[in-house]
Amino acid sequence: MIRLIAALIALTATPLAPTSLYAQNADPALGGQHFARYCATCHGSSAMGDGPRANELNPQPPDLTRLSLRHAGVFPVERVVMRIDGREPLVSHGSPMPVYGGLFDEAPGAAVKTEAGQPILTSGPVVDLVAWLRMVQVEE
Ligand code: HEC
């Protein structure tokens, strides 16, 4: 809880600059480990949508290195966080992708700034995953 409050204060106090869009103490390396463990089977180890299970899925897992490109060059933080933790309404209408909110519930809470500059609460592992995904975005 203290970590969460500290994260929120840090986020609120940070001026709006591109680097402040994301959590202060996100760990992309750890996010990469979570990705390899929980996500690569469908999205592929480089997140390009070519995991070993991709072919059996309908719809297909998207190429997650092109999230920014598909959103006019801005990484869609809020959409991605909500898709992973299951708050995105699309999930309740049926998707082959599991919901990870429950899995990461035990982890300490964390906050990340959305592209609109608002803090959004989720868990530490989701913040780390987002940091890793942001790092693997391609530019064209
Ligand atoms: C069982 C296969 C499977 C696993 C495992 C899986 N996904 Fe997905 N994912 C999908 C499919 C299929 C879609 C496209 C349909 C949808 O959005 O529900 C998707 C969609 C997404 C999207 C939405 C992309 C967009 O265009 O907004 C994100 C973000 C995402 N996945 C991230 C992850 C992360 C991070 C993990 C690991 C924590 C993960 N996925 C694990 C199959 C999977």
The CA 28 to ligand 1 mean position distance, Å, reads 18
Per-residue pLDDT tens digits for 66-80 = 999 999 999 999 999
Looking at residue 14, its pLDDT comes to 46
| Residue 33 Cβ contacting ligand 1 at under 6 Å | no
CA distances from 95 to 80, 83, 90, 130, 138 (A): 15, 11, 8, 20, 25
Task: Give the Cα separation of 52 and 27 in Å (integer).
Answer: 26
Confidence of residue 81 (pLDDT cuts 50, 70, 90): very high
Looking at residue 21, its pLDDT comes to 45
Ligand 1: residue whose CA is nearest its atom 39: 39
| Residue 79 Cβ contacting ligand 1 at under 6 Å | yes
122 alpha-carbon distance from chain centroid: 10
Provide the mean pLDDT of the chain. Answer: 83
The CA 1 to ligand 1 mean position distance, Å, reads 29
CB atoms within 10 A of CB 130: 23
Looking at residue 87, its pLDDT comes to 81
Closest atom of ligand 1 to CA, residue 53: 2
Per-residue pLDDT tens digits for 11-50 = 555 444 333 345 667 899 999 999 999 999 999 999 999 9
